[in-house]
Structure 1
């Protein structure tokens, strides 16, 4: 188990009757909150969280009858923020910056049945760095299961800033600038990336082989659940997923592994390019980068499972 969480510890009873407060996971829409409960372990810095996944999500859905890996990614993003606020006393209103994230699924990710999935997440918080008495940087490792069967693991690192420190990091001494119109070109064909609606595509026209303009639609109700002064991290990861599907010609490919390193903020109103390169020794794996003004915004890797037919 992650971070020294022992398998012989009594499994806590988790509640799945309602979601946690949306403010603790930085979501405006209650429907987009997946966490339902959190219980501390007897071992310091270990926690068990509950989450519920809908049988049909409006955006994160698979064509193969499996739960979409991006549901797991978003759940772990929420768990990271929730733990910092509720267990490490990070004040609400303090911005978070994700540095790295990796999620791996197992072959046991279940097919969608006749009821929502109840997900159990064992989490260990480590590598804490404090600024005064306030948590400033930390890592979290996760082991996720459904009905006692492991379905995936995750690990991520993040920093937390006071509003003043974030403003200095984001804008420097000049203060916030006026953000212009987001770059939102016409999308590529939705069927090439496993989407059914053009507005759910985050890749603009291909201007070189496996190179697309990042499409930033700040009216999208999921990817922009709330206003953001930069391209949200989940939009970048969706670009990773769609880029992998398009480059590998697997529009229904489910994610086996997705990992990202965020290098800097991506501006909404400037062209950014999503580039995909296949790994020659792994036919279902690609390396992906997002660049803006010739600088790396994010880089990482995606491995897809071969698409399978719904049973």
Structure 2
């Protein structure tokens, strides 16, 4: 996927209509939805979080058969994505928030039972970095969600596609599209076997100077790294994941893009990190298998491809035991 597929530039030289310019005509302040089943507050279990501080959605309402409006807030501090130079963590925080919105709607809108495993297959996203930065910690966001490609078996939801647009007042913040499947506890136990509940290796030394979260990169060679996990970090230690969370793989992909963007900007010279921050305004990621804690994950990144506007596109892959785990394309702002 090239940059033109990830970003469709509006007529004005801004990023205010990243990802399909026609969304500017879909501002929720012009809509008059019929609310059904509104909620006040969201239980952490419904978005698969351990603490209330990690919950991004704050409420939801059904506006059509497969349409929903949610409210959300993006905190200044989030365990997986601590503040980074240039605001590089903010797009990941937005993606995490939209991921939680899908989890919530699957449970409350489609009656997916608690205990089902959610498997993110593919994800595309885009954002307006200026509007996103202005929205963090400052108030309520509105999330418009449309669900499609709905698959049910024996009356239960087994797969869905969600498309979301996020607004801060009348300003476009971001958009995402994701494909998710759902696995019953019994099937998951058969799939994962002894890995469920297995002890995770303890590792606490990270090489990342860009992110204060639980993931970093250790150099292996030109544009290649080994993923390093701080399993003692509170964001991971209090969770019971039996595999590396996909959002941390996306964070590792961003760090790899950051590294190659710096090298391309000044070969042989390490620029100041804040000036070289790689802030993804669009991207995608697809997962082929689970990434395990007990085997090295190798991250590779291609050369950045610069465009006329000054942005960069970087392709990143992750492999474990010779098999591809994920592939991602990230696009930076000019």
**What TM-score do the two structures reach when normalised by structure 2?**
0.78
Aligned to 1:291: 319
Does 2:245 correspond to 1:232? yes
Q: 1:222 aligns with which of 235, 255, 266?
A: 235
Within 5 A, what are the aligned runs for 1:119-158? Answer: 119-158=141-180
Alpha-carbon distance in 1 for matches of 2:172, 2:106: 24
Contact 2:202 2:232 survives alignment (8 Å): no
Aligned to 2:292: 267
Alpha-carbon distance in 2 for matches of 1:228, 1:278: 33
1:123-155 deviations in Å (ceiling 9; x for gaps): 011111112111001110001110111111100
Alpha-carbon distance in 1 for matches of 2:88, 2:323: 36
Alpha-carbon distance in 2 for matches of 1:298, 1:121: 27
Taking structure 1 as reference, are residues 162 and 17 closer, same or farther at Cα in structure 2, changes over 3 Å only?
closer
Match of 1:120, SS state, is: strand
Q: 2:207 aligns with which of 188, 197, 208?
A: 188
Q: CA RMSD in A?
A: 2.9
Q: Which runs of 5 or more residues in structure 2 are unaligned?
A: 1-21, 263-272
Alpha-carbon distance in 2 for matches of 1:157, 1:219: 31
Alpha-carbon distance in 2 for matches of 1:277, 1:90: 39
**Greater Cα offset, 236-245 or 275-284:** 275-284
**What TM-score do the two structures reach when normalised by structure 1?**
0.84
Aligned pair count reads: 293
Contact 1:19 1:36 survives alignment (8 Å): yes
Match of 2:46, SS state, is: helix
Aligned to 1:278: 303
Taking structure 1 as reference, are residues 240 and 18 closer, same or farther at Cα in structure 2, changes over 3 Å only?
farther
Alpha-carbon distance in 2 for matches of 1:223, 1:178: 14
Aligned to 1:34: 56
Alpha-carbon distance in 1 for matches of 2:178, 2:195: 28
Aligned to 2:104: 82
